[in-house]
């Protein structure tokens, strides 16, 4: 392990042909020399070659993170210094905004508008935690007589952070920013399909002055290096965003060493349009709620419930606008819906649509792989609306993670609350109504971590993001996330003049 201090990475282009691992403040090849290729899902073309971390590299990263945490200065550095460094990271990201957007689009095939919004949010996350950490503090508690109790917030330690492919840079920011603000060291395992922007973010952290070993980025197979980190006794916490089955596996394995675990998992979020809603706002918001990011969002509002009295009028407008959605060059600012992440995911999506058809549902729009002119080798799926469904169908119960919405009618508030809660998930939800009393009542009864009232957006820096039920636990993007990257230490002191003799002997 190198002992050179304050190493600086040589600046490199954001977009390049080869990306290395970041371990102990340095770019490095994989120990085994392994590499993999990352593709642009819009075109099917290769984007770059990436060093593929092996278990040996994961071990090196744990050692580097451990050394940085146990013996380094980051965790004991003044909070103002950490705050300043987070702001510096945000500053460098701002100065490279267009490059980060371009790289994110190339690696994911998402639309320009989506990538711009997500890169900006990633920047603002660092700015948010730069502020929040300054006032994150312990407490002084009331105690009898000459006793005193103070609590301190201490960083949890070495954190393994495993992230998915749908928002590669934003997810990396959601994980890294609060953890390093709190003084932890991190090992980030990006999704194999989309590792590029997370690697660049790791480089930016080091450029901004984060000491060696505090931020390590190791793209590699989840089943190998991800699993290795989850089982490693020197890792104190696992923060995972991804699918519910892998989340369950991680929780079970992490229990062997009683790691702290936070999980952001799947969803099947209800979107409820009441009779008194502003129909046009509800149509536009519902459209964005499911088709944003090509439906590859954990909080995609994929179950749409519309009051029976407005169902036909709503559906007509909703279908018409869905057919207006534009797919095509992701770099064009009027492209609404980008590509699907890969062929496998495209087949998963189509499998759900076919299952709905076999179950007797009706395809009201879309329903098949899209052919997009100029992008014939990419992976595209038509924005799809499915009607005539019931609550037992697979397409209604399971997360599809694509641009597919199922639409159902409801009679009244009581019925729709029952339907909304009839899911093993509980991440997002949306309500469209002009009745403030109804909005309040229904918000309180929905079993979900997030309720959007007349609002198409689910996340801003500072708003808690996370799920109920099998959508996981823990909240990200907010002040309380800092509690999940810290331990509370209780210090009890006695300042009485008379020595204490509890046994009385
Ligand atoms: P995934 O297959 O669960 O993968 C997520 C991450 O876990 C990837 O980095 C993956 O690595 C890694 N991984 C795979 N197997 C592992 C193992 N055995 N041990 C440790 N790590 C392992 O999920 P995905 O397909 O990438 O993402 C889609 C899912 O994520 C959806 O279900 C979605 O709802 C959920 N999601 C949730 C949120 C939220 O905030 N709640 C946000 C975004 C996405 P590889 O890439 O190498 O396989
Ligand atoms: Mg890619």
Q: At 161, list the tokens.
A: 């952070």
How many C-beta atoms lie closer than 10 Å to residue 497's C-beta?
5
Residue 332 confidence (pLDDT): 97
Q: For residue range 433-485, what is the model confidence (pLDDT) as tens digits?
A: 999 999 999 999 999 999 999 999 999 999 999 999 999 999 999 999 999 99
Is residue 272 over pLDDT 70? yes
Mean pLDDT of 215-228: 98
User: Taking the model in full, what pTM does it have?
Assistant: 0.97
| Main-chain dihedrals φ then ψ at residue 342, nearest 5 degrees | -160, 175
From the list 184, 205, 298, 478, the catalytic residue is 298
CB contact set of 434 (below 8 Å; sequence gap of 6+): 276, 277, 278
Domains within the chain, CATH numbers bracketed: 21-265+471-489 (3.40.605.10), 270-453 (3.40.309.10)
Residue 66 confidence (pLDDT): 98
Task: Write the residue with the smallest CA distance to atom 22 of ligand 1.
Answer: 222
Q: For residue range 70-97, what is the model confidence (pLDDT) as tens digits?
A: 999 999 999 999 999 999 999 999 999 9
Which residues, judged by CB distance below 6 Å to any ligand atom, belong to the binding site of ligand 1?
A: 162-166, 189, 191-192, 221-223, 226-227, 230, 241-243, 246, 249-250, 264-267, 298, 399, 401, 427, 467, 471-472
Residue 321 confidence (pLDDT): 98
d(CA 476, CA 343): 30
Where on the phi/psi map is residue 282: left (φ > 0), alpha (ψ -120 to 50), or beta? Answer: alpha
Residue 205 confidence (pLDDT): 98
Q: At 397, list the tokens.
A: 């119960």
Beta-carbon neighbours within 5 Å of ion ligand 2: 38-39, 107, 193-194
Q: What percent of the chain has pLDDT over 90?
A: 98
Identify the CA nearest to 271 among candidates 241, 306, 295.
Answer: 306
Residue 7 confidence (pLDDT): 56
Q: For residue range 13-65, what is the model confidence (pLDDT) as tens digits?
A: 999 999 999 999 999 999 999 999 999 999 999 999 999 999 999 999 999 99
Q: Put the strands of the sheet holding 384-387 in their side by side order.
A: 362-365, 384-387, 404-410, 303-307, 270-273, 430-432, 452-453
Probe ligand 1: pick from 243, 245, 340, 344, max atoms within 8 Å of CB?
A: 243
Report the separation in Å between the CA atom of 35 and the middle of ligand 2, taken as the mean of its atom positions: 14
Q: How far from 26 is each of 14, 33, 139, 411, 469, CA to CA, in Å?
A: 16, 16, 38, 60, 40
Confidence of residue 227 (pLDDT cuts 50, 70, 90): very high
Q: Is 264 a catalytic residue?
A: yes
Probe ligand 1: pick from 246, 249, 294, 478, max atoms within 8 Å of CB?
A: 246
Is residue 1 over pLDDT 50? no
Is residue 342 over pLDDT 50? yes
């Amino acid at each position: 392990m190198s002992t050179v201090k304050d190493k600086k990475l040589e600046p490199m282009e954001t977009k390049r042909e080869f990306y290395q691992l970041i371990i102990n403040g340095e770019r490095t090849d994989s120990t085994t020399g392994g590499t993999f290729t990352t593709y642009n899902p819009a075109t099917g073309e290769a984007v770059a070659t990436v060093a593929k971390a092996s278990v040996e590299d994961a071990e090196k990263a744990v050692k580097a993170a451990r050394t940085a945490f146990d013996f380094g200065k980051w965790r004991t550095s003044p909070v103002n210094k950490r705050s300043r460094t987070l702001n510096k990271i945000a500053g460098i990201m701002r100065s490279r905004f267009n490059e980060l957007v371009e790289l994110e689009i190339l690696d994911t095939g998402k639309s320009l508008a989506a990538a711009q919004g997500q890169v900006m949010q990633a920047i603002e996350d660092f700015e948010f935690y730069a502020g929040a950490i300054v006032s994150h503090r312990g407490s002084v508690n009331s105690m009898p007589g000459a006793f005193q109790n103070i609590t301190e917030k201490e960083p949890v330690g070495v954190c393994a952070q495993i992230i998915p492919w749908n928002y590669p840079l934003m997810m990396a920011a959601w994980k890294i920013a609060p953890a390093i603000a709190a003084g932890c060291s991190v090992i980030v395992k990006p999704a194999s399909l989309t590792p590029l922007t997370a690697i660049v973010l790791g480089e930016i952290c080091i450029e901004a002055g984060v000491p060696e070993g505090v931020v390590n980025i190791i793209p590699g197979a989840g089943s190998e290096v991800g699993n290795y980190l989850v089982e490693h006794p020197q890792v104190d916490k696992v923060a995972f965003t991804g699918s519910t089955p892998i989340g369950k596996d991680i929780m079970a394995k992490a229990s062997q060493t009683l790691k702290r675990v936070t999980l952001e998992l799947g969803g099947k979020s209800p979107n409820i349009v009441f009779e008194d809603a502003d129909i046009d706002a509800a149509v536009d918001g519902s459209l964005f709620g499911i088709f944003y990011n090509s439906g590859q969002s954990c909080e995609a509002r994929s179950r749409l419930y519309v009051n029976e009295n407005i169902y036909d009028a709503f559906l007509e407008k909703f279908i018409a606008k869905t057919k207006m959605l534009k797919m095509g060059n992701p770099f064009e600012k009027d492209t609404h819906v980008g590509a699907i992440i890969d062929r496998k995911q495209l087949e998963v999506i189509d499998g759900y649509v076919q299952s709905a058809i076999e179950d007797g549902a009706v395809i009201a729009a879309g329903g098949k792989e899209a052919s997009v002119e100029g992008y014939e080798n990419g992976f595209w799926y038509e924005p799809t609306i499915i009607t005539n469904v019931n609550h037992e169908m697979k397409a209604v119960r399971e997360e599809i993670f694509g641009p597919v919405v199922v639409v159902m009618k409801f009679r009244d508030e009581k019925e729709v609350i029952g339907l909304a809660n009839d899911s093993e998930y509980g991440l997002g939800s949306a309500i469209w109504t002009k009745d403030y009393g109804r909005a309040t009542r229904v918000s309180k009864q929905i079993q979900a971590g997030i309720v959007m009232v007349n609002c198409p957006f689910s996340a801003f820096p500072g708003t808690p993001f996370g799920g109920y039920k099998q959508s996981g636990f823990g909240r990200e993007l907010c002040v309380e996330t800092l509690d999940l990257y810290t331990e509370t230490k209780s210090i009890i002191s006695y300042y009485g003049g008379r020595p204490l003799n509890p046994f009385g002997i």
